[in-house]
Amino acid sequence: MGALNYKLAKELKEAGYSQDLWCDCNGPIQPSKADEPCVVPSLSDLIDSCGEEFERLEYQPSPKCWTARQMNYGFYDDKACVNGKTPEEAVALLWLELNKK
């Protein structure tokens, strides 16, 4: 189970991330029904879903956060760089940034 809060997991679902993995959840890992598991993507699944756009994930000791970066093709203004409390959160936020409609 990945380290995503319910709000972010719901944002991913609503943005179209791996619809076949999801169920309705009442909290970070609480299923809506006793027999219905709640699945959130793992860190490796999140990184894979960013595809070739994913450049790197790094820990920033100050201000104690994780930073996920989009691959730089020489256009710094277009490069996404997002921070999260956990590695999973940072990469999930990057995926959302890369998949804005």
> What would the two tokens of residue 96 be?
């959302």
Average pLDDT, the chain: 77
Query: What are the pLDDT digits (tens) for 20-49?
Result: 544 555 444 444 444 444 457 789 989 999
Cα distance from N-terminal residue to C-terminal residue, the chain: 27
pLDDT at position 8: 83
What CATH number is given for 6-98 in this structure? 3.30.2120
pTM (2 d.p.): 0.75
Question: Does residue 82 contact residue 93 with C-beta atoms inside 8 Å?
Answer: yes
Mean pLDDT for the stretch of residues 50-73? 91
The answer to whether residue 93 scores a pLDDT higher than 90 is: yes
Q: What are the structural domain ranges in the chain?
A: 6-98
